[in-house]
Structure 1
Amino acid sequence: MSNVPLQPPPANPSPAPPLWSAPPPKGRTGGIAFAVTGIVIAGAVGLLVLGYLAVGLGVSTLAIGAGLAVLPLVVVLLTIRWVDRWEPEPRWALWFAFLWGAAVSVAFALVVDLGIQLAVAYAESGATLDEAMQAVVQAPIVEETAKGIGVLLIYAFSRSHFDGPVDGLVYGATVAAGFAFTENILYFGAALIEGGAEELGATFVVRGIFSPFAHVLFTACTGIAIGIGARRGGGAGVIGWFLFGLTGAILLHALWNGSLAFADDAIGLYFTVQVPIFIGFILVTVFLRREEVRVTRTRLAEYGAAGWFSPAEVQMLATPAGRRQARAWARVQSPPRTAEMRRLITDATHLAFTRQRLVTGRAGLRSSVDEDALLRAVAADRASLVR
């Protein structure tokens, strides 16, 4: 962190900002290029995984399993969208996260599992790895490592979109949602083949109704930890936070799998162990969202003092109630100004978190460029609304 006192935000040069059209802020194209490359690679891996599933399950069974797996996926993605509403992450980064979980992480887990099985069989002729050992030790380590690497890559190549724990939670949850989707297809397909509709129904109840957020809980530990490291200054220290979060994810995953593998009363254990964990996760999420609101309000108030926003506009842009009122006002205008208001809210929120990076000493040249571009974008948004 620099010892040079941080200067206040630049003053607004004009009380009525002129309409301005700008190119995308500099320094963000690297993240987009990474995402496009990653999406292409993950998509190619996804085709291989799809072929593997089609061969192993059969096309009709694959279709049934995929159809059922979509149901919990929709619930999870809608929840992630709710968490991400305050400062939405870019779609390209979320697509990369989902495909990394659904394709690359699954492929990694399958390859490692095959390698371990072959190694055990070679070491002891005809031997197989104990299923409980796979569930409690192998699966948590391999799967959480594969998913966590995806979140770490997003931080490494898109730091301007990784401001803190909520961003890490969103990216980790999205990776996990993709992984759970493909894994559910495997479980549902295998259940249908082995036990017919009855076995499939029981598996769907366990995975689709009782535990659709299981993988989200695990990988969110890694994402939140990386977000904490990013907020505390980034740099090499993020690796330590990544390992800390990954350890928590592995232990929580092992506890979850172990409770299912060894419990005599699975339902009772679900309500006494797993439900409290889920409630705790909800409380942490609510706390982190409130922290985002606080940061937004504090930083936009600084820009308000410099003449960029009126006190009423700070209230409008930095509180949930104010945003609801702003959207309602935009909808009843003639013509409606919903898109313009949404753009102003988004740019102002990004401006607040860019300012947060400057305040916390995580700013480089890119953050200063982003601040300048966002200030002008906010001026253009306001001009289009009052025009």
Structure 2
Amino acid sequence: MSLLLLAIAPVTIIILYIYFKDKYEKEPIGILTKSFLLGATVSIILTFILGYIASIFIPITDIKNVFQQFLKAFIVVALVEEFSKYVIVKFYAQKNKEFNEPFDGIVYSVMVSMGFAALENILYTFQHGAATGLTRAFTAVPAHATFAILMGYFMGKAKFSKHKVKLNLLGLLLATLFHGAYDFFLFINFIPGMWIGAIISLILGIVLSRKAIRKHQNSSIFKV
């Protein structure tokens, strides 16, 4: 039970943080819950299928090959995972009538991502123990949240723009780039000090995420 609480605690904190940042017109709990569950089920299944296909076309034959690890980080992992979350936001949340202001893009993207991160975190924590769960609480889970906020920022803009396709894909691209950079520096840990690159990319993502949140808050159509 303690491992389960450790795994879901950071996810819960991030969900509550984003929920209360949605100051002016909160989303229905039912739709948020469904978005979370879709992230924990459909996104995970899509990731497994697409990741398996990607690994066939991009096999990793040498774990110390930097280029192979680059392809793994940005395509096999980052693009596959972010696309698997993107489709839920695009085809479920973005089409919902409750998605009625740009900030909602951030809210729903984070809910889907936290569903994904919750199941992933539970599996890692139960497999590797409390130390891994504690480390991921301050690294991998916040990283998933920042990728989601960056994606959601542009998907929120896309809903109310004439350039829907461009902005939606820009959100997917940005999330993939930050996710890929974060993983890449961790994957090449056989080079001393490279893990610092992951921390830097995470910090930069957090800074940009906070700006994205403030920008959509300030432009809310429900702000009095």
Q: Using structure 2 for the length normalisation, give the TM-score.
A: 0.83
Partner residue of 1:181 out of 106, 110, 118: 118
Q: Determine whether 1:261 maps to 2:187.
A: yes
Work out whether residues 101 and 179 of structure 1, in 8 Å CA contact, stay in contact via their aligned partners in 2. Answer: yes
Alignment-derived partner of residue 96 in structure 1: 34
Partner residue of 1:224 out of 153, 162, 167: 153
Q: 1:112 to 1:268 in 2, by over 3 A?
A: closer
Alignment-derived partner of residue 277 in structure 1: 205
CA drift of 1:154 comes to 2.7
CA drift of 1:167 comes to 0.6
Alignment-derived partner of residue 69 in structure 1: 7
SS in 1 for 2:26: coil
Q: 1:155 to 1:72 in 2, by over 3 A?
A: closer
CA drift of 1:69 comes to 1.2
Measured against aligned partners, the alpha-carbon deviations of 1:28-53 in whole angstroms (never above 9, x if no partner) come to: xxxxxxxxxxxxxxxxxxxxxxxxxx
Measured against aligned partners, the alpha-carbon deviations of 1:67-123 in whole angstroms (never above 9, x if no partner) come to: 321111121111111222321012222112101111111111122334455x46xx9
For these two proteins, the number of residue pairs brought into alignment is 216
Alignment-derived partner of residue 214 in structure 1: 143
CA drift of 1:177 comes to 0.7
Percent identical pairs in the alignment equals 24
CA drift of 1:271 comes to 5.0
CA drift of 1:207 comes to 0.9
Structure 1 unaligned blocks of 5 or more? 1-62, 193-199, 298-317, 319-387
In 1, Cα distance between the equivalents of 2:169 and 2:124?
29
Q: 1:77 to 1:249 in 2, by over 3 A?
A: same
Q: Which has the larger radius of gyration?
A: 1
Work out whether residues 98 and 176 of structure 1, in 8 Å CA contact, stay in contact via their aligned partners in 2. Answer: yes
Q: 1:209 to 1:221 in 2, by over 3 A?
A: closer
SS in 1 for 2:219: helix
Q: Determine whether 1:105 maps to 2:43.
A: yes
Work out whether residues 69 and 184 of structure 1, in 8 Å CA contact, stay in contact via their aligned partners in 2. Answer: yes
Q: Using structure 1 for the length normalisation, give the TM-score.
A: 0.51
Higher relative contact order (CA 8 A, sep 6+): 2
SS in 1 for 2:34: helix
The letter for the 1-side match of 2:115 is G
In 1, Cα distance between the equivalents of 2:51 and 2:160?
36
RMSD over aligned Cα atoms: 2.6
CA drift of 1:267 comes to 6.1
The letter for the 2-side match of 1:212 is V
